[in-house]
């Protein structure tokens, strides 16, 4: 088949590399976002140029010149890997077999831009990814295939996405192409009763309320590690919380209960969080024990004030 790959960053690059590695299909063009002033060249663009592939970077897909150029590649399928730009129906349907798009959740659940963060924050025990037939709605449309994995009790975003979803998803693009090659690719109709949309997970969502049950606090820390980073305050100064574990214990919520070489233990409702790594304002990430010593943190001090 003649393929167009549309994507960005490392995931788009690795999907492109996987398709080139097999040599089964002809890569006729690569589409990515326009260059941004002061930012490095997108890895997928850099890699495509190294491989001698045509690269297109339209600002939008609504003008006739862009659509004419897209049609000129005479593609069979457009593979949309990690795409942030809106691609209208006319552009999506230009390839003979249309377009297929990747999303890192089990659609229709967790439509939206932070689909890896929210399942962890919400305490879900499974996630995965979907390749779906995109429509004009955000992450809407029937799915071609889905892959499921567990969310383990201590998984962070790094564990779920980079160690589980990412490697499987990159390899799965070969299965995606094979399904289209059969001439009758499946369609898994979305159960809209299960649909959910979550907005982009930002700093305001990552604020820790120590007066919450320990499981909710822990899920928030895991689900925002490494980004945007859960955060709290001490004497009005912000500090971001990263690596941590749950430990048992009772006491006053938000209070520092222990300080050791392992880190700083903070009370929540029904248990405690042992914080191992932090990032104070305007500083780099560091062991929580070093941070505690540097600011003179004491047992019975309160966080969140």
Fold of the CATH domain 203-295? 3.10.25
Reported pTM: 0.94
Is 90 exceeded by the pLDDT of residue 85?
no
pLDDT level of residue 305 (50, 70, 90 thresholds): confident
CA distance 111 to 141: 11
Percent of the chain's residues with pLDDT above 70: 100
Q: What is the DSSP letter of 162?
A: I
Residues contacting residue 82 through CB under 8 Å, at least 6 positions apart = 7, 8, 9, 11, 12, 102
Average pLDDT (213-229) is 98
The domain spans of the chain are 2-194, 203-295
pLDDT level of residue 113 (50, 70, 90 thresholds): very high
pLDDT at 23: 87
Fold of the CATH domain 2-194? Rossmann fold (3.40.50)
Is 80 exceeded by the pLDDT of residue 287?
yes
Per DSSP, what are the bridge partners of residue 232? 239
Taking CA atoms, 121 is separated from 201, 218, 239, in Å, by 10, 8, 19
Residues contacting residue 246 through CB under 8 Å, at least 6 positions apart = 214, 215, 218, 271, 272, 273, 274
Residue 84 contacts residue 42 (beta carbons within 8 Å)? no
User: Mean pLDDT across the chain, nearest whole number?
Assistant: 96
Which residue has tokens 């995931």? 11
Taking CA atoms, 182 is separated from 3, 82, 136, in Å, by 15, 25, 26
pLDDT at 300: 96
Is 90 exceeded by the pLDDT of residue 221?
yes
Is 90 exceeded by the pLDDT of residue 84?
no
CA distance 10 to 170: 10
pLDDT at 124: 98
Is 90 exceeded by the pLDDT of residue 82?
no
Is 80 exceeded by the pLDDT of residue 288?
yes
pLDDT at 293: 96
2-194 and 203-295: identical CATH topology? no
**Region of residue 76 (phi > 0: left; psi between -120 and 50: alpha; otherwise: beta):** alpha
Average pLDDT (28-46) is 94
Average pLDDT (214-233) is 98
């Amino acid at each position: 088949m003649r393929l167009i790959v549309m994507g960005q960053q490392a995931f788009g690059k690795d999907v492109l590399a996987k398709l080139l590695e097999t040599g089964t299909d002809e890569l006729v063009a690569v589409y990515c976002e326009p260059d941004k002033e002061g930012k490095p060249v997108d890895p997928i663009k850099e890699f495509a140029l190294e491989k001698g592939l045509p690269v297109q970077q339209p600002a939008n897909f609504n003008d006739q010149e862009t659509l004419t150029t897209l049609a000129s590649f005479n593609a069979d399928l457009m593979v949309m890997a990690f795409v942030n730009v809106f691609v209208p129906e006319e552009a999506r349907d230009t390839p003979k077999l249309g377009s297929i798009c990747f999303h890192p959740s089990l659609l229709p659940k967790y439509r939206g831009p932070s689909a890896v963060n929210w399942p962890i924050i919400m305490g879900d025990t499974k996630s995965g990814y979907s390749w779906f037939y995109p429509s004009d709605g955000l992450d809407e449309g029937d799915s071609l295939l889905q892959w499921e994995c567990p969310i383990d009790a201590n998984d962070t975003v790094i564990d779920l996405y980079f160690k589980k979803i990412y490697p499987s998803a990159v390899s799965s693009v070969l299965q995606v192409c094979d399904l289209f090659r059969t001439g009758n690719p499946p369609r898994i109709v979305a159960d809209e009763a299960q649909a959910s949309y979550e907005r982009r997970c930002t700093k305001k969502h990552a604020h820790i309320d120590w007066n919450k049950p320990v499981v909710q606090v822990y899920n928030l820390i895991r689900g925002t590690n490494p980004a945007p980073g859960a955060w709290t305050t001490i004497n009005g100064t912000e500090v971001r919380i990263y690596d941590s574990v749950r430990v048992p214990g009772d006491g006053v919520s938000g209070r520092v209960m222990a300080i050791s070489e392992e880190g700083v233990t903070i009370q929540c409702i029904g248990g405690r969080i042992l914080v191992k790594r932090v990032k104070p304002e305007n500083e780099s990430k560091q062991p929580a024990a070093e941070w505690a010593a540097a600011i003179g943190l004491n047992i019975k001090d309160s966080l969140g004030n």
